[in-house]
A and B are shown apart, each in its own frame.
Chain A
Amino acid sequence: MGNFIGKSVKRREDARFLKGAGKYTDDIKLPKMTQVAFVRSPYAHAKILNVDTSAARNANGVVAIYTADDGCGQYGVPCGWQVNFKNGETMREPMHPLLAKDKIRHLGEAVAIVIAESLELARDAAELVEVDYEELPAVTNPRDAMEDGAPLVHDQWTDNAAFDWCIGNDRAEVEAALEAAHHVTEMEFRNQRLAPNAIEPRSYIADYDVNADKWTLYTSTQNPHLIRLLLCAFALGIPEHKVRVVSHDVGGGFGSKIYHYTEEALVTWASKEIGRPVKWTSDRSEAFLTDAHGRDHVVTSKMGFDKEGKIVAHLTDEYCGLGAYLSTFAPAVPTYLHGTLFQGVYTTPLIHLNVTAPFTHTVPVDAYRGAGRPEATYLLERMLSKAAAEMNLDQAEIRFKNFIPPFDGIEQPGYQTQVALQYDSGNYEETLKRGLEMLGYEDFRKEQEEARKNGKLLGVGISTYIEGCGIAPSAVVGALGARAGLYEVGHVRVQPTGKVSVFTGTHSHGQGHETVFAQFVADKLGIDMDDVEILHGDTEQVAFGMGTYGSRSLAVGGSAIIKSVEKVLEKGAKIAAHKLEAAEEDLEYAEGKWTVKGTDKSVSFGDVSLTAYVPHDYPEGLEPGLDFSSFYDPANFTYPFGTHIAVVEVCSDTGRVDLKRFIACDDVGNVMNPMIVDGQIHGGVVQGIGQALLEEVVFDEDGQMINASYMDYAMPRADDLPMIETDRTTTPCPHNPLGVKGAGEAGAIGSTPAVVNAVVDAVAHLGVKDIQMPLTPQRVWKAIQN
């Protein structure tokens, strides 16, 4: 531990946010800026018979109106991942147009963009655009989408499948093992569709400068360079060096701001057309209808056990909805980010997952906090607890029987799963032991028994999860269908005075990079944190980057910065050796200075920095300057894990679930800033609780989303929750320089099944075996009644 690493340093970001001085995209006003309102489809599936914009064009304050027939019809946004059919057929990849032409494929799809002098005038004019639709039958459930005769989302194919896919052992072998198993637990359920709901709605401003022939795009994105690449190389075909993408403060992402959206490309295109800045900020209803959703799996699963309770085989079939078009990372989510986690933390010898991924008449589905891993974890952790109940085993006991034994990835090799991945390091049983201690498990079971005698329904739920972060290396993800590398860029510029500017290709939208990255850079250089500045979110400042998602920022982005810090110190040592008239190998570096070992002769980091830029008395042949950029492509994913335990009381009269306690004992590898890691866990846990108890996007049979507002879509509020009790074990990642694993998604992955297991445990003695999420009072009450 240095001066800063491992300390709960308070965040330097906070002052601006607390004073209302954050700079979110919608806060930006440019001279001559115009505002956008979209004309959006009120139907999920319809033919567009006619679009009449004549009245709107004459409306007060209108600058321009465009439809797909007005010059942007050939443009569409791309998909960044390709998963082909099992039989080798290429993934079906429809054009995702910026504006719908002829056909509407999801509710809220844009038909026209109205640009006016103010938002009010744009909205007034949008109301005057007349669109004639012929409504068609829609399909929103992924299993229904694969039935014979289901309405087709894309007419050029004979069914709705975009691809199918499988992973693991031979299916016949898995089936045979299930046949021979002592006990088979079965589950059929829907991992329901969720709306990510970052509280800041998406916002874009494009500013085309005709004299420079250059665009600046201000955007609420998690990955500015990726947006620039997709925008330039695929969506619009404009020169990448003529586009600057700026992403200042972003009000939460949770995955939904990774993707390149049609609106982003449209405002960029339109700004050049009208020669003025064009701004669009989503309202909340538009966010529900157009931000990519998460989850949406229909699952049928069997898990076989021997008589001791050890898993012998696991077979699952899933229908995973993709929505009407393929969003940026959509094909990866129900496949490589999902099936590869089916080993969980258990020694299961035989696993097979089969996925059918259809188009549906809905907004696209893509990564939402955890992305495929919460869905895998929910299945495994519900299965284990359900099997325990059926086999009369304790929820904890069945897990202890099945855990992969501890391994550090150095002395003991990484663990090779049945589903392609090799885990880096893990000590799974330790987090469960610690979690049970935190709860006081045995005492709780006694309390539960007493409570039942008094008619009180108390339950406990356990979940022992694993997840995969920082997906890499690029060559492997490329072989799996990624159309991008998944490395990261870290640039360390030492200024002549020894002050340090660090440029990272990751993006902070709540994670606190400006603080945490400065902590480890300051420690590695032995200088004060105040002498280190972290910069991100501007493609003209930062060389390149892949952005922030998949809990990758520290494990991948932090490692890239460390590489550059090492280069700085390596070159600095040459300069120091020259100044000290000593051999490099006789020097040691500590506390911001190079010292000749065994002497008091030393030179400071600041002096060396100045010499690098004023190279009068300087090593021969060495370039001036102290400025290094590095690309870091990790050797493997990282694999955080942990135990989450929920305690609930269920009201037998109403079915209402009262979450009494929530315990999280996580292992995210080494920790740079415990305060921030705890904060990430708290937030993730509560999003997972939201899925368990409250959240679900609901469509009616026509494909209308019937809860597209904050009055209808339930998310956790402060009074739904207890304080979250956290603790940690530390199993360092063996393959990155900081030994870190990632903490952004762990909470949302582990918590959901813990809560559902607890509710089912509370009512298990009444004969309840499963309840479908979200566990609303009505569903729980019905389960009790039945």
Chain B
Amino acid sequence: MNITLTINGKVYTSDIEPRMSLSHYLRETLSLTGTHIGCDTSGCGACTILMGGDAVKSCTILAVQADGCELTTIEGMANGIEMHPIQEAFKENHGLQCGFCTPGMVMTAADLLKNNPNPTEQEIREGLKGNFCRCTGYHNIVKSIQHAAEKING
């Protein structure tokens, strides 16, 4: 099937199998390997991207369902070498260790802060409950998002 979609501001057209997941499409067809796959069942959140501005788990969406959509992946967050405030906050607060869950965490945080620019610690924790991290115990991820909110709100 033919699909056309916009990813990180760039238009892509591809002929793909209807059964291909969006996460596989990003990784295998477009080589956008920043989106990671940890489970295939929406359980871990490593594959989280923004679809029409909202966080979605790209492993349980078919690529054909994204036809005509506008997506942002982790590769689209930084502005050249300048990192997004959320990315900067993760670095400053040691919000990542092995880095595998990190793209999903950053994209989830982007959605969270868009909908709630001043979240409490508990709201951040609830917002992250669809994303597993096995390294950080979430402590510094929560701090990173608190810090990112401060940065974004100036």
Interface flags, B99-138, vs A, CB<8A=1, else 0: 1111100100000000000000110111011011111111
Across the two chains, which residue of chain B brings its CB closest to A29? Answer: B31
Interchain CB contact under 8 A, A724 and B139: yes
A250 contacts across to B, CB distance below 8 A: 98
B134 touches A715 (CB 8 A): yes
Q: Which residue of B lies closest to A28 (CB)?
A: B33
| Residues A709 and B134 in contact, CB atoms below 8 Å apart | no
- Contact present for A18 and B125 (CB under 8 Å): no
Closest B residue by C-beta to A684: B137
Contact of B138 among A13, A21, A198, A721 (CB under 8 A): A721
Residue-wise interface mask of B (64-92) relative to A, using a CB-CB cutoff of 8 A (1 in contact, 0 not): 00000000011101100001000100111
Contact status B33-A20, CB under 8 Å: yes
Select one of B28, B43, B99, B142 contacting A284, CB under 8 A: B43
Distance of A460 from chain B, by nearest CB (Å): 20
User: B24 to chain A: which residues have CB within 8 Å?
Assistant: 119
State which residues 497-515 of A face B: CB under 8 Å.
509-512
What chain A residues lie within 8 Å of B38 (beta carbons)? 199-201, 251, 284
Query: In the bound complex, do residue A723 and residue B35 qualify as a contact, i.e. CB atoms below 8 Å apart?
Result: no
Whether A718 is near chain B, meaning CB under 8 Å from some CB there, is: yes
Residue in chain A with minimal CB distance to B86: A18
How far is A23 from B121 in the complex, measured between Cα atoms in Å?
32
Knowing A19-B74, A21-B34, A27-B33, the reply to whether A679 touches B99 (Cβ < 8 A) is no
Determine whether B41 belongs to the interface, using a CB cutoff of 8 Å to chain A.
Answer: yes
User: In this assembly, does B141 line the interface, its C-beta being within 8 Å of a C-beta of chain A?
Assistant: yes
- Closest Cβ–Cβ distance, residue B148 to chain A (whole Å): 12
Task: Give bound CA distance, A252 to B98, whole Å.
Answer: 6
Which of B1-21 touch A at CB < 8 Å?
17, 19-20
A20 to B86, CA, bound (A): 13
Interface string of A156-187 (1 = CB under 8 A from B): 00000000000000000000000000000000
Q: Which residues of B contact A283 (CB under 8 A)?
A: 39-40
| Whole-angstrom CA separation of A682 from B34 in the bound complex | 25
Asked whether, in the complex, the Cβ of B141 is within 8 Å of the Cβ of A18, the reply is no
Residue pair B98, A710 in contact (C-beta under 8 Å): no
Q: Are B135 and A719 in contact (CB under 8 A)?
A: no
State whether the Cβ of A14 lies closer than 8 Å to any Cβ in chain B.
yes
The answer on a CB contact under 8 Å between A10 and B92 is: yes
Counting contact residues on chain A (CB < 8 A from B), the size range is 35 or more
Between B32, B39, B46, the greatest number of chain A beta carbons within 10 A of the residue's beta carbon is seen for: B39
CA distance A250 to B121 in the complex (A): 30
Within 8 Å CB of A637, what residues of B? none
B92 touches A252 (CB 8 A): no
Contact A711 B31 (CB under 8 A): no
**Main SS class of interface, B:** loop
Q: Which residue of A lies closest to B89 (CB)?
A: A18
Contact between A10 and B98, CB atoms less than 8 A apart: no
Cβ of B94 under 8 Å from chain A: yes
The smallest beta-carbon distance between B112 and chain A, in angstroms, is 11
Partner pick for A15 among B17, B83, B132, CB 8 A cutoff: B83
A11 within 8 A of B: yes
Tell me if A718 and B90 are in contact (CB < 8 A): no
Q: How near does chain A come to B149, taking the closest CB pair, in angstroms?
A: 15
Contact B96 A17 (CB under 8 A): yes
Whether, in the assembled complex, A685 has its beta carbon less than 8 Å from a beta carbon of chain B, the answer is yes
B63 at the A/B interface (Cβ < 8 Å)? Answer: no
The answer to whether B78 touches A711 (Cβ under 8 A) is no
Q: How far is the CA of A659 from the CA of B48 in the complex (A)?
A: 28
Residues on B with beta carbons closer than 8 Å to the beta carbon of A20: 32-35, 73-75, 77, 103
**Nearest-CB distance from A39 to chain B (Å)?**
19
B125 and A683 contacting across the interface, CB-CB below 8 Å = no
A22 to chain B, nearest CB (A): 5
Residues 654-694 (chain A) with a chain B CB within 8 angstroms: 675-676, 678-679, 682-687
Docked-complex contact A709 and B44, CB < 8 angstroms: no
Q: Are A14 and B39 in contact (CB under 8 A)?
A: no
Chain B nearest CB, measured from A751 CB (Å): 10
Question: Which residues of B are found within 8 Å of A686, using beta-carbon distances?
Answer: 136-139
CB neighbours (8 Å) of B121 from chain A are 723
Q: A20-B32, A20-B75, A717-B128 are contacts. A14–B43 as well, Cβ < 8 Å?
A: no
Instruction: Report A-chain residues with C-beta under 8 Å of the C-beta of B97.
Output: 252, 510-512, 679, 683
Q: Which residues of B contact A11 (CB under 8 A)?
A: 91, 94
Q: Closest residue to B139 on the A side, CB-wise?
A: A682
Given the interface contacts A24-B100, A200-B98, A252-B98, does A284 sit within 8 Å of B138 by beta carbon?
no
Q: Which residue of chain B is the closest to A512 with respect to CB atoms?
A: B97
User: How far is it, in angstroms, between the C-alpha of A675 and the C-alpha of B73 when the chains are bound?
Assistant: 28
Find chain A residues with CB under 8 A from B136 CB.
679, 682-683, 686
Do residues A18 and B102 form an inter-chain contact, with CB atoms below 8 A? yes
Q: Are A717 and B139 in contact (CB under 8 A)?
A: no
> CB-CB contacts of A244-259 with B at 8 A, as 1s and 0s?
0000011110100000
16 other contacts beyond A14-B90, A20-B33, A721-B125, with CB at 8 A cut-off? A8-B94, A14-B96, A19-B87, A24-B100, A26-B27, A120-B20, A249-B99, A251-B98, A252-B98, A252-B100, A284-B40, A512-B97, A679-B136, A686-B139, A710-B44, A718-B141
A-B contact pairs, 12 of them (CB 8 A): A18-B99, A24-B36, A26-B33, A26-B37, A251-B36, A675-B94, A679-B135, A717-B129, A718-B142, A719-B122, A719-B128, A724-B139
Using a CB–CB distance below 8 Å, which chain A residues touch chain B? 8, 10-11, 13-22, 24, 26-27, 29, 119-120, 197-201, 249-252, 254, 283-284, 509-512, 675-676, 678-679, 682-687, 709-711, 715-719, 721, 723-724, 747
Q: Which 8 A-B pairs have the closest CB atoms?
A: A20-B34, A710-B43, A251-B100, A17-B99, A686-B137, A510-B98, A20-B74, A510-B97
